[in-house]
Amino acid sequence: MASQRPSLGHHCGVAAIYSPQELNIPEKLFFPLFSLQHRGQESAGIAYRKGRNTVVYKDLGMVSTVLSRYLQGSRPSHAGIGHVRYSTHGGNKLENAQPILVSCNKGEIALAHNGNISNTAELKNRLFADGSIFQTTSDTELFLHLISRSRQPTFAEALMETLEQTQGAYSMVLLHDDELYAIRDPYGFRPLYIGTKDGMTVAASETCAMDILEVREYRSVEPGEVIVVNSEGTRSSFLSKPAGARLHQCVFELIYFARPDSHVFDNSVHERRKRMGGALATQDMGSNGTRGVPIADIVVPVPDSGNSAALGYAEASGLPFDFGLTRNHYAGRSFIMPTVDARELAVRMKLHPVREVISGKRIVLVDDSLVRGTTSRSLVRLLKEAGAAEVHLRLSAPEILWPCFFGIDIPTRGELISNAMTPEEIAARIGADSVRFLSIETLKTCLDAPANYCFACFNGEYPFRVPMTEEERNLPDRRKRV
Ligand code: SF4
């Protein structure tokens, strides 16, 4: 079932802490998870060592609600992991919340995972045939089954065997008895960082989660790296690289998903977004001389994800930047509104025009991406009702034409507006005066090593066979009919 959300969705964030000295680990985990809330708002959870056991606590809801109990009292521990979840196919059910904790022939294992396994069906069929019983619909459980059923003599060997069998995107943290693991898949789809402070080791999806704990010394977990931290120190090993594989870091982490104050893939997210906005302005100018920049009065971001790109657009074009929309942060990020009217109401609850900024102005409205177009239509209407003379929508991502199989919730191809309409048709549909996307080629100029990134949702070039239906694969390309 495809997502009903009007925008793109994350597939989770992870955090982990190990300390040779006992600390109040559950309390400490609260803070990095709170920093990663933007990566998933539907459930939160932690697992930590309590004496010789691992205990887990998780529930549906935001970090501040689910985990606030851990801000009181003392729970001395050496290690813990945590997770924030965004649900998709598995649905928003408690049994799919993470970490998942199991006790098996390899010991106690707790796992928190960000990503998506592409060969889930094949592996699950095999396990079902062997008699396995699954309790969740998330593919995280798959790792645990494979580890448990492995005939390798040690946990470490069973883990490596499991990882070599699974294909797809995974950045994960794992507790095995008193050891902490931080693992990133060989393609490097999702970010994962590891750092140290005063003997404590912290791993997290983004560096904003390091900053809140004042961890200043950190590095990216390398693609294919398996790091284990225990009482003897830290050691790392590497998974073998699939034949012909190259890095496929998700470019959407830089465009939209990660927090602007984070570093992911060793890039400042804010700085890259500014570059993308600047490139959008240059692209406008380059295609049509200086008249290519819309004859506009101001550049307005769609807050918050459009802020950095709008700033870049304003600097490159020389147009003034202003906040013509304010965001109500209490409206949440995960409304599911079934009808167009209700979705429009959801947009009005979330974004408010600042009439004094907008009235009578010709506006360049900068957003990160266009999925179904429903939110943009409501937004353009809001701005025009508030007196905007013209609205020129600029997107700092290319046209999204293909689904993602690596951990991002993208609707079916038929639901993506760019599969049905040209930018000119989209402008007419949403009531904008013009619509333009950043081209893939221009996006690549904003990256230091574009060959290390995934662009599959823009160009359909997946790094390996993905479980797409033939119907989806063969959907007529609208660009071939224009
Ligand atoms: S398909 Fe798109 S969203 Fe998915 S990993 Fe690649 S760039 Fe990211």
Q: What pLDDT tens digit does each residue of the chain (482 aa) get?
A: 334 445 566 579 999 999 999 999 999 999 999 999 999 989 999 999 999 999 999 999 999 999 999 989 999 999 999 999 986 555 567 888 999 999 999 999 999 999 888 888 888 888 888 777 777 777 888 899 999 999 999 999 999 999 999 999 999 999 999 999 999 999 999 999 999 999 999 999 999 999 999 999 999 999 999 999 999 999 999 999 888 889 999 999 999 999 999 999 999 999 999 999 999 999 988 665 555 566 799 999 999 999 999 999 999 999 999 999 999 887 654 444 445 567 678 888 889 999 999 999 999 999 999 998 888 999 999 999 999 999 999 999 999 999 999 988 888 898 899 999 999 999 999 999 999 999 999 999 999 999 999 999 999 999 998 988 888 888 877 765 44
148 Cα to the center of ligand 1, angstroms: 31
> Could you give the CA distance from residue 206 to residue 194 in angstroms, rounded to a whole number?
9
Ligand 1 atom at shortest distance from the alpha carbon of 250: 8
8 Cα to the center of ligand 1, angstroms: 11
> Could you give the CA distance from residue 170 to residue 14 in angstroms, rounded to a whole number?
11
62 Cα to the center of ligand 1, angstroms: 25
320 Cα to the center of ligand 1, angstroms: 32
CA separation (Å) from 472 to 121, 194, 311? 18, 38, 37
CA separation (Å) from 64 to 19, 69, 114, 153, 453? 24, 9, 20, 41, 34
Amino acid residing at 149? R
Predicted TM-score (pTM) of this structure: 0.93
Ligand 1 atom at shortest distance from the alpha carbon of 8: 3
Angle between helices 120-129 and 140-149 (to 10 degrees): 40
Ligand 1 atom at shortest distance from the alpha carbon of 253: 8
Contact of 304 with 351, CB cutoff 8 Å:
no
Ligand 1 atom at shortest distance from the alpha carbon of 402: 1
Contact of 184 with 108, CB cutoff 8 Å:
no
Please identify which of the residues 12, 208, 404, 454 carries the catalytic annotation.
12
Pocket residue to mutate for ligand 1, from 187, 252, 253, 458, most atoms within 8 A of Cβ: 252
Cβ-in-10-Å burial (0-12, 13-18, 19+) of 356 comes to exposed
86 Cα to the center of ligand 1, angstroms: 16
The DSSP call for residue 422 is -
Extract the tokens encoding 154.
């040690």
Q: Whose CA is nearest to atom 6 of ligand 1?
A: 454
Q: Whose CA is nearest to atom 4 of ligand 1?
A: 404
Bridge-partner residues for 100, per DSSP?
111
The verdict on whether 12 is a catalytic residue reads yes
Q: Whose CA is nearest to atom 2 of ligand 1?
A: 457
Pocket residue to mutate for ligand 1, from 171, 251, 253, 464, most atoms within 8 A of Cβ: 251
Residue 445: in which H helix or E strand, if any? helix 440-445
Q: State in Å, rounded, how far the first CA of the chain is from the last one.
A: 30
Ligand 1 atom at shortest distance from the alpha carbon of 410: 3
Pocket residue to mutate for ligand 1, from 39, 253, 405, 454, most atoms within 8 A of Cβ: 454
Extract the tokens encoding 449.
């090593």
Ligand 1 atom at shortest distance from the alpha carbon of 169: 5
Q: Whose CA is nearest to atom 8 of ligand 1?
A: 250
Least Cα distance to 394 among 264, 269, 285 occurs for 285
Q: Whose CA is nearest to atom 5 of ligand 1?
A: 250
404 Cα to the center of ligand 1, angstroms: 5
Cis peptide upstream of residue 304 (ω within 30 degrees of 0): yes
> Could you give the CA distance from residue 391 to residue 175 in angstroms, rounded to a whole number?
51
Residue 101: in which H helix or E strand, if any? strand 100-104
251 Cα to the center of ligand 1, angstroms: 7
Pocket of ligand 1 (CB under 6 A): 189, 250-252, 404, 406, 408, 454-457
450 Cα to the center of ligand 1, angstroms: 13
26 Cα to the center of ligand 1, angstroms: 32
Ligand 1 atom at shortest distance from the alpha carbon of 400: 2
Grouping H, G, I as helix, E, B as strand and the rest as coil, residue 81 is strand
Q: Concatenated DSSP letters for 135-178?
A: S-SSTHHHHHHHHHH---SSHHHHHHHHHHH--EEEEEEEEETT
Pocket residue to mutate for ligand 1, from 404, 452, 468, most atoms within 8 A of Cβ: 404
Strands 168-176 and 107-117, bridge-based pairing = antiparallel
CA separation (Å) from 164 to 153, 157, 437, 439? 16, 11, 38, 35
The length of the chain, given as a count of residues:
482
